[in-house]
Amino acid sequence: GAVVSQHPSRVICKSGTSVKIECRSLDFQATTMFWYRQFPKQSLMLMATSNEGSKATYEQGVEKDKFLINHASLTLSTLTVTSAHPEDSSFYICSAPRTGRENIQYFGAGTRLSVL
């Protein structure tokens, strides 16, 4: 079964609204989680590293004020796309390394965001 749960699986919203995506680790704690974005027929692009109890670390070129990350607990990280615009439409995926196997990532099922 899934060890990382991501919700919602699909979001359709109007331009200018904010969208929150949740990523939960199931039956294990994750002090670190990762957020990726994937455009059609392209590879995953790492956006940021979510750290429990501290600020997220963003990859170069990713706007931290646009993509707000909160690691509220050891099992939950959220990504909020603020004031979404059509160019933010993409497939967003989170991952977490399982405790004791930090070099293996377990991925959520992804969230398809469509901004109208």
Partner 1 sequence: LAKTTQPISMDSYEGQEVNITCSHNNIATNDYITWYQQFPSQGPRFIIQGYKTKVTNEVASLFIPADRKSSTLSLPRVSLSDTAVYYCLVTEGNTGKLIFGQGTTLQVKP
How many Å from the N-terminal Cα to the C-terminal Cα in the chain?
34
Q: How far is the CB of 82 from partner 1 (least distance, A)?
A: 23
* Tokens encoding 108: 């959520």
User: Which one of residues 44, 62, 83, 85 is an interface residue with partner 1 (CB under 8 A)?
Assistant: 44
Task: Using the minimum distance from each CB to partner 1, give the nearer residue, 64 or 83.
Answer: 64
Is residue 11 near partner 1 by the rule CB under 8 A? Answer: no
- The CB-side HSE value for 49 (13 A sphere, CA atoms) comes to 9
Q: Cα separation of 114 and 91, whole Å?
A: 9
Task: Using the minimum distance from each CB to partner 1, give the nearer residue, 43 or 54.
Answer: 43
Q: What angle do CA 21, 27, 31 make, to 5 degrees?
A: 60
Binding site for partner 1 (CB under 8 A): 4, 6, 32, 34, 36, 43-46, 49, 91, 93-95, 97, 102-110, 112
